[in-house]
Amino acid sequence: MAATVLCMLIFFPLGVRLADYLLPKVPRAVVLAVASLLGLTCFSYSFYLHLFGSPAAALHRAAVTLLLYLGVVLVQGRLLRHWAPRGGWRTLAAFLLPLVVLVVVKYLPLPDFVIRRIGAGSGIGPDLLIGISYMAFRLSYLTLEVRNGTVAAPRPAEFLAFAFFLPTLSVGPINTYATHSGRGTDRTPLPGAWLRMLLGAVKFSFLASMVNQFSYTGLLLDGHPHAWVDLPTAMVCYYLFLYLNFSGYCDMAIGVAGLLGIRVAENFENPFAARNVKDFWNRWHITLSTYMRDVVFSPLSKWLVRTLGPARVNHATAICIMVVFLLVGIWHGVGWHFLLFGLSHGLAVAANHYYTIFLKKTLGRARFLAYGKSALVRGTAVVLTFAYISASLFLFANDGRAMRAIFTVLH
């Protein structure tokens, strides 16, 4: 499938550029919308064909995916234009629609008649709906952008081009419409865009695959017994693999968008240099962190401070941190191990929150600033954070069955 992804990301900008040349009077938004819909259909078909092996079944599932997405996006488009700017319950309804669809499709069991109708019993399911989570977050955030006056409600073709923009559809980043539609001078120059695509392709298709050979799947689940020292090796290599795979795709998405003069937000900023888990999330999957900050943390913390009183602001912050990271865990997938992953990061960020308060009270302002600038403290913190993230990703990477299989082969 890596080859399919690379082909799609290479041919997409070439196709758009060719359409611009052959059809100069057709607006770019229309070209992008049509190209993205065709790309989604082709990618879905290729994905399902690879998974199930039947061309007819793959075509059926690709059609179901396309119709589902189109239905949600078209309804959301009307709500966005007519309800989002009006405030109150109408804005809330427009904001919640894509999130409700995400919850229903991804987390709730489908009725039997729906399963029979769309063929879910024979293979289509929430894990196979490409990019449904990223689409839901992009569309819900756009509602807030329109409500706040950050952007005007996009016209139909512009909205479809944004909703289905192929490079960011399946794995992100969660680009805002303000960034997507920006016409500033900071767009990636063409040589830089091609270089970014090449760098991302090397990370995504070569380096990630190489490192994954020493991760859980490639190392510990190879059917042979292993020494316990292989477990931390697999933990570190999985962290490296996840970074190379995810950031590599984002590099390609940013490069492809740059070829078309479209800006895409950066999603990574050297996460291995993070000195605590809070700092890690300021550097890792930045667009998800920004979404959770704006949509969950900020409004919830304001409400809790009003409810509990200013004297309990620190505890209100800790509660909000836990809520955010439990949602982050659930968003990543269905299963108790994802919930525990979110809980482990929420507890780490909350602990850092209280530890920072303790240090400020104990050391005073001058000594606290000196503590933060200490090279020894920073180095120690970076190493400990790297180790904690590597260990916590064990919960992210493995469900209960995989965990039992790993511990069975360790001696």
pLDDT, one tens digit per residue, over 346-358 is: 999 999 999 999 9
pLDDT at position 227 is: 86
Among the residue ranges 116-120, 146-150, 321-325, the one predicted with the least confidence is 116-120
| Entry pTM | 0.90
Check if the beta carbon of residue 88 is closer than 8 Å to that of residue 96.
no
Judged against a pLDDT cut of 90, whether residue 231 lies above it is answered with yes
Among the residue ranges 87-91, 228-232, 352-356, 395-399, the one predicted with the least confidence is 87-91
pLDDT at position 189 is: 67
Domain residue ranges in the chain: 2-180, 190-268, 273-409
CA distance 335 to 333: 6
pLDDT at position 410 is: 85
The residues with which 277 forms a beta bridge, in sequence order, are none
CA distance 352 to 355: 5
Judged against a pLDDT cut of 80, whether residue 9 lies above it is answered with no
pLDDT at position 358 is: 93
Please tell me which residue, 107 or 138, carries the higher pLDDT value: 138
The angle, 0 to 180 degrees and rounded to 10, between the axes of the packed helices 190-201 and 2-22 is 160
Judged against a pLDDT cut of 50, whether residue 185 lies above it is answered with no
**Mean pLDDT within 178-201:** 77
**Mean pLDDT within 382-403:** 95
7 — pLDDT class (breaks 50, 70, 90): low
Give percent of the chain with pLDDT exceeding 90. Answer: 50
Give percent of the chain with pLDDT exceeding 70. Answer: 91
Judged against a pLDDT cut of 60, whether residue 203 lies above it is answered with yes
**Mean pLDDT within 234-249:** 95
Q: What is the mean pLDDT of the chain?
A: 87
**Mean pLDDT within 179-198:** 74
**Mean pLDDT within 205-221:** 90
Own/partner contacts of 277-280, CB < 8 Å, gap of 24 or more, are 277/345, 277/348, 277/349, 277/352, 277/385, 277/388, 277/389, 278/349, 278/352, 278/353, 279/385, 280/385, 280/389
Judged against a pLDDT cut of 90, whether residue 273 lies above it is answered with yes
Check if the beta carbon of residue 63 is closer than 8 Å to that of residue 47.
no
Please tell me which residue, 49 or 313, carries the higher pLDDT value: 313
Nearest Cα to Cα of residue 151 among 173, 180, 174: 180
Torsion of CA 50, 56, 62, 66, to 10 degrees: 170
**Mean pLDDT within 269-281:** 96
